[in-house]
Amino acid sequence: MASVELKALGKRFGAATAVDGVSLRIEHGQLVCLLGPSGCGKTTTLRLIAGFIEPSAGEIVVGNKILSSPARTVPPEGRNMSMIFQSYALWPHMTVAENVAYGLRIRRMDAATIAAKLKAILSTTRLDALAGRYPGELSGGQQQRVSLARALVVEPETLLLDEPLSNLDANLREEMRFEIRRLHDQYRYTTVYVTHDQAEAMTTADLIAVMNKGRIEQLGTPKEIYERPVSAFVARFIGGSNILEGKALDAERVSIGGTALRTTGRPLRAGETVAVSVRQHDVGLQTAAPAGSDNVLHATVARQVFLGGYRDYTVVLDDKTEMRATVSADNDIPPGRDVWLSLPAAKCRALMEGNTP
């Protein structure tokens, strides 16, 4: 295995910039997710790592070897990488065993070695009983496991996954997230995983790189990204957050609609405009004003939706700002009612400067 390092990597298509100065180091055996919406540059970054396209700027270094630069790009077949695509890309005329063993055969390994490696990977991916079947006889989840087995059996230095679960239904996606993590923990290949699905990233990744407009907006563990977003984009994209704008009163407090909110995250300068993130499930909703006035906002219920285990509220503050709150399903408050929102200071995160909505 080898580390993967992106150094000020850039890619332009004419006047459009798809990847803009991305720098990232992925250590041996780490699984890093590139997470973001369509058009953020994550798949282009993965294709650059794979060698399918050449960079306009910067370098890609694997181990101590430069694989891509504007001057020279090592072709995909020279990179010792395996890639898994959105489509399973299985050969329909080959059995599961033949599909999985294909990469070993083109590397001209002897029959005994192929048989031993094939047996081991089919066992690991729980495909033993399906070895003689054809792809058309398999479910989507089974086909994806075949694709994973084929990628892993050749023992790549780097494993690349491009939205590998997007064609599966919700239940299979959840199952395969854990399967991908289980296989990673067993083999510890250096892995780059592209997805737009927050749950996939949170389940599988050691580190998440949240991408926006061709750049990495924030890099951190799933816990760090979720609990300590640095920007409005990250706060909204991961987990769903309300973003409130106000003026700093002092190093800790922000005035929102005439009410002082105590915040965490960074020290503030009195008078600066501040964006504050608070997650929907951290908002307390009450029909009577609480005894204390700290971090309490008055609002009116605009709508509420029953979603089984909880209710999703949209409320409107006195300054006409809309907020979302996720509360217990037992908390049934009709539209038009006055409510008071309790926002715990530890959950009100002041975002980085210059990051107002």
Whether 221 is in a domain gets the answer: yes
Whether 345 is in a domain gets the answer: yes
Task: Tell me, yes or no, whether 26 and 139 share the same domain.
Answer: yes
> Helices 140-153 & 96-106, crossing angle to 10 degrees?
20
CATH code of the domain containing 165: 3.40.50.300
From 174, 202, 227, give the residue that closes a domain: 227
Residue 264: what pLDDT?
A: 92
Task: Tell me, yes or no, whether 291 and 251 share the same domain.
Answer: yes
| Pairing mode of beta strands 207-212, 31-35 | parallel
Number of domains in the chain: 2
Assess whether pLDDT exceeds 70 at residue 353: no
Q: Kindly state the average pLDDT of the residues 263-280.
A: 93
From 177, 196, 227, give the residue that closes a domain: 227
Task: Tell me, yes or no, whether 185 and 75 share the same domain.
Answer: yes
Residue 343: what pLDDT?
A: 94
Task: Tell me, yes or no, whether 47 and 189 share the same domain.
Answer: yes
Whether 143 is in a domain gets the answer: yes
Assess whether pLDDT exceeds 90 at residue 299: yes
Whether 355 is in a domain gets the answer: no
In a 10 Å sphere around its CB, with 0-12 CB exposed, 13-18 middle and 19+ buried, how is residue 355 labelled?
Answer: buried
Task: Tell me, yes or no, whether 179 and 67 share the same domain.
Answer: yes
Each residue of 220-252: b (16+ CB within 10 Å) or e? bebeebbebbbbbbbbebbbebbbbebebbeeb
Residue 239: what pLDDT?
A: 79
Least confident of 84-93, 103-112, 246-255: 84-93
Whether 232 is in a domain gets the answer: no
Whether 190 is in a domain gets the answer: yes
Amino acid at 120: A
Residue 187: what pLDDT?
A: 86
Task: Tell me, yes or no, whether 191 and 285 share the same domain.
Answer: no
Residue 125: what pLDDT?
A: 86
Q: How far is the C-alpha of 19 from the C-alpha of 11, rounded, in Å?
A: 5
Whether 233 is in a domain gets the answer: no
Q: Kindly state the average pLDDT of the residues 205-223.
A: 96
Least confident of 57-61, 64-68, 239-243, 325-329: 239-243
**Widest Cα–Cα separation across the chain:** 78
Q: Are 249 and 255 in contact (CB under 8 A)?
A: yes
Q: Kindly state the average pLDDT of the residues 192-216.
A: 94
| The three-state (H, E, C) secondary structure of the chain, written as one string | CCCEEEEEEEEEECCEEEEEEEEEEECCCCEEEEECCCCCCHHHHHHHHHCCCCCCEEEEEECCEEEECCCCECCHHHCCEEEECCCCCCCCCCCHHHHHHHHHHHCCCCHHHHHHHHHHHHHHCCCHHHCCCCHHHCCHHHHHHHHHHHHHHCCCCEEEEECCCCCCCHHHHHHHHHHHHHHHHHHCCEEEEEECCHHHHHHHCCEEEEEECCEEEEEECHHHHHHCCCCHHHHHHCCCEEEEEEEECCCCEEEECCEEEECECCCCCCCCEEEEEEEHHHCEEECCCCCCCCCEEEEEEEEEEECCCEEEEEEEECCCCEEEEEEECCCCCCCCCEEEEECCHHHCEECCCCCCC
Task: Tell me, yes or no, whether 188 and 118 share the same domain.
Answer: yes
Q: Among candidates 267, 272, 285, which has minimal Cα distance to 339?
A: 285
Task: Tell me, yes or no, whether 145 and 279 share the same domain.
Answer: no
Q: How far is the C-alpha of 5 from the C-alpha of 75, rounded, in Å?
A: 17
pTM: 0.85
Task: Tell me, yes or no, whether 212 and 324 share the same domain.
Answer: no
Q: How far is the C-alpha of 148 from the C-alpha of 168, rounded, in Å?
A: 14
- Per the structure, the complete domain to which residue 339 belongs is given by 242-350
Task: Tell me, yes or no, whether 80 and 199 share the same domain.
Answer: yes
CATH code of the domain containing 279: 2.40.50.140
Q: Kindly state the average pLDDT of the residues 158-164.
A: 91
Q: Kindly state the average pLDDT of the residues 329-333.
A: 93
Whether 235 is in a domain gets the answer: no
Residue 57: what pLDDT?
A: 96
Task: Tell me, yes or no, whether 146 and 250 share the same domain.
Answer: no
From 174, 192, 227, give the residue that closes a domain: 227
